[in-house]
Structure 1
Amino acid sequence: MAMEVPLHKPVMLDRCLDLLAPAFEVSNPLMVDATVGLGGHTEGALKRFPQLTVIGIDRDPSALAYASERLAPFGDRFIPFQGTYDQIPLALDDRLANGILMDLGVSSMQLDEVERGFSYAHDAPLDMRMDPTSGESAAELLARVERGELVRILRRYGDEKFAPRIADLVIRTRSVTPLTTTGQLVEIIRSAIPAAARRTGGNPAKRTFQAIRIAVNDELGILEAAVPAALASLTVGGRLVVESYQSLEDRIIKEIFREGSDPHVPAGLPMTASDLDKLRSLRLLTKGAERAPAEEAAQNPRSIPVRLRAAELLTPWRNHVS
């Protein structure tokens, strides 16, 4: 029986493909969609570039199954791989890619499936794992984490100024009853945050849920490993395009791209533009972080927080010295 795939419009699809297009002007180009999700970006790429093959990576087996069925009409031009996106070299199996796309953050499917526990809008098991078959759930994390570590998680990953109050109430509550549902966590957050603060800035649970999700899935740790792995997996002239959804992700991308595009030439040393290019590993393809155009933001709210950055590999990344 065919799966009913809840399709969502991929964010900034045309812009991503425009940035990747010059890297695909070769025979039989290869792309890695490092976060394939429901396959929207990959479907767009396979339609636009008839000779392209895409390896689609996702840690979520359900998402990968959806994407595989959606992309079945493309035959062996789509190759699924279950894993995290720092496993790009493993997915490529000693090959090099011409282009790599990373669309970060939680997928629409994960938010839509209430039982996954990503949403604070519905009561559900407190899970939040992108791969529900492995690792520690949010409930397990909250059952064992010490107060200081929980405060750090909420502050660093959620920018939550009431982190100590929330952490105290989590510790107090779990001493009486296990925290097993999203509804329990929402009630703790509501009780810990002063009423005046709850009236502004959207749902007060958003920051805490984001922080715990990031911690459960080690999203930033994996991203810090994944970007160098992606760059090392590109051919010279290949391109990496990344869409991030919050400032912590974007900061990692920005720093690695800055390091790779900086020739590190001592002041006063005479160098031509050509000389400088030979010392760079990357050429930046976007001026800062691009945002979705106003029309797309109005039609697709998921695109509003996106920051898009892209770079072209000028020299093999393994030769890059940071």
Structure 2
Amino acid sequence: MEYRHTPVLLAEVTQQLTLHDGSIFVDCTLGGAGHTKRIAQLIAPTGILVGIDQDDAALTAAADTLRLGQQELPTIVLLKGNFGDLDELLLEARVPYVDGFLMDLGVSSPQLDHVGRGFTYQEDAPLDMRMDPSSSQPTAADIVNTYSEAELARIIREYGEERWASRIAAFIVAARGAHPITSTSKLVEVVKAAIPASARRTGGHPARRTFQALRIEVNHELEQLERGVRSAIAWLAPKGRIAVISYHSLEDGIVRDVFRDSAQGCICPPDLPVCRCGREPVVRIVTKRPITPSAEEIDRNPRSRSAKLRIAEKR
């Protein structure tokens, strides 16, 4: 598979991270290294670039991208893993601190476009959805065919924000009773049947929210996100920054809440004359409101439409 990915909010990320020659930068979701190729130029030749991804194809493509046409390169360390395990990965990389982090969340364009990965509802493929296809974790097919109706309804409602979650779960359980649901096309067929025709006329593809929910459940994305953002903040040097691009409200809400919690100072009752908790803010929130793509960028890259960029700076 040729790994091509258009980086979202590239100029904004590059400007906000304020990196320079000698900086230590970590891309927690390396993908095809679209953002990181530009940042590598800024921190070369004495900087350190750590790239993390769960996908072997992404790591291979990124290694080629970073070295292609570069006059000077920083020290490059590429690691396979999930940013939820950031502490262990950065210990492996042997960096003392980090000046800038980037997390570009969700599924990359190559993963969506590669039919065999099972992320897309537009093509028929095995129902997989693992970010790391070599892992032993359960696939989307395992979840669809083994979870109870109540549990399916919960994840589709919670992670997909789908109003028809209970009905979709009931239809899935009825369909799998006849034959296991093992392909994307079969799941799309079941979801379409579950959603009333009048509701299918608006809101995009009727299976979009269910597929999102299953992908999040398969990869434990929300739990990994909170753990990863908190770890990144802990590793930042003073004045170092973390940039997170999210693509749906659940991700954005977690990033917003972790930033707010880390920026919170004293939590003592307001009637206490002197602070007793001793709590100090750890970060300063740079983006009071998230940065979103311009109309021109959305026109060039429609997949950027829902992107939101938040930045925090270590105090």
Tell me whether the two structures share a fold, i.e. TM-score over 0.5: yes
Rounded to whole Å, the distance in 2 between the matches of 1:303 and 1:150 is 29
Alignment correspondent of 1:199? 201
Q: Give the TM-score normalised by structure 2.
A: 0.91
**Counterpart pick for 2:48 among 25, 45, 53:** 53
Rounded to whole Å, the distance in 1 between the matches of 2:28 and 2:272 is 40
Please give the root-mean-square deviation of Cα atoms over the aligned residues, in Å. Answer: 1.9
Kindly report which structure 2 residues correspond to 1:26-65, keeping only aligned pairs within 5 A, or say none: 28-51=22-45, 52-65=47-60
Question: Does the 8 Å contact 1:32/1:99 carry over to 2?
Answer: yes
**Counterpart pick for 1:225 among 215, 224, 227:** 227
Question: Does the 8 Å contact 2:26/2:98 carry over to 1?
Answer: yes
1:43 match: secondary structure: helix
Rounded to whole Å, the distance in 2 between the matches of 1:192 and 1:279 is 50
Alignment correspondent of 2:253? 251
Superposed CA offset, 1:194-252 (max 9, x none): 01111111110101000111101110011111111111111122110100110000111
Rounded to whole Å, the distance in 2 between the matches of 1:64 and 1:239 is 24
Give the direction of change, closer, same or farther, for the CA distance of 1:49–1:126 in structure 2 (3 Å limit): same
2:144 match: secondary structure: helix
1:91 match: secondary structure: helix
Question: Are residues 1:158 and 2:160 paired?
Answer: yes
1:235 match: secondary structure: strand
Rounded to whole Å, the distance in 2 between the matches of 1:177 and 1:265 is 55
Rounded to whole Å, the distance in 1 between the matches of 2:110 and 2:160 is 22
Kindly report which structure 2 residues correspond to 1:161-180, keeping only aligned pairs within 5 A, or say none: 161-180=163-182
Question: Does the 8 Å contact 2:145/2:181 carry over to 1?
Answer: yes
What is the CA-CA distance between 1:49 and the residue it aligns to? 3.1
What is the CA-CA distance between 1:270 and the residue it aligns to? 8.9
Question: Are residues 1:85 and 2:73 paired?
Answer: no
Rounded to whole Å, the distance in 2 between the matches of 1:31 and 1:91 is 13
Question: Does the 8 Å contact 1:99/1:238 carry over to 2?
Answer: yes
Rounded to whole Å, the distance in 2 between the matches of 1:40 and 1:185 is 33
Kindly report which structure 2 residues correspond to 1:112-151, keeping only aligned pairs within 5 A, or say none: 112-134=113-135, 135-151=137-153
What is the CA-CA distance between 1:171 and the residue it aligns to? 0.8
Question: Does the 8 Å contact 1:43/1:71 carry over to 2?
Answer: yes
What is the CA-CA distance between 1:263 and the residue it aligns to? 1.6
2:178 match: secondary structure: coil
What is the CA-CA distance between 1:302 and the residue it aligns to? 1.7
What is the CA-CA distance between 1:7 and the residue it aligns to? 2.3
Give the direction of change, closer, same or farther, for the CA distance of 1:44–1:150 in structure 2 (3 Å limit): same
Amino acid at match of 1:220: L
Rounded to whole Å, the distance in 2 between the matches of 1:84 and 1:200 is 35
1:71 match: secondary structure: helix
Give % identity.
42
Consecutive unaligned residues of structure 2, counting only runs of 5 or more, are: none
Question: Does the 8 Å contact 1:55/1:91 carry over to 2?
Answer: no
Question: Does the 8 Å contact 1:88/1:233 carry over to 2?
Answer: no
- Further displaced range: 81-90 or 250-259: 81-90
Rounded to whole Å, the distance in 2 between the matches of 1:268 and 1:310 is 33
Rounded to whole Å, the distance in 2 between the matches of 1:5 and 1:284 is 37
What is the CA-CA distance between 1:291 and the residue it aligns to? 0.9
Give the direction of change, closer, same or farther, for the CA distance of 1:162–1:48 in structure 2 (3 Å limit): same
Rounded to whole Å, the distance in 2 between the matches of 1:259 and 1:287 is 14
Question: Does the 8 Å contact 2:3/2:57 carry over to 1?
Answer: no
- Further displaced range: 249-258 or 87-96: 87-96
What is the CA-CA distance between 1:46 and the residue it aligns to? 0.9
Alignment correspondent of 2:97? 96
Rounded to whole Å, the distance in 2 between the matches of 1:236 and 1:206 is 41
Q: Give the TM-score normalised by structure 1.
A: 0.89
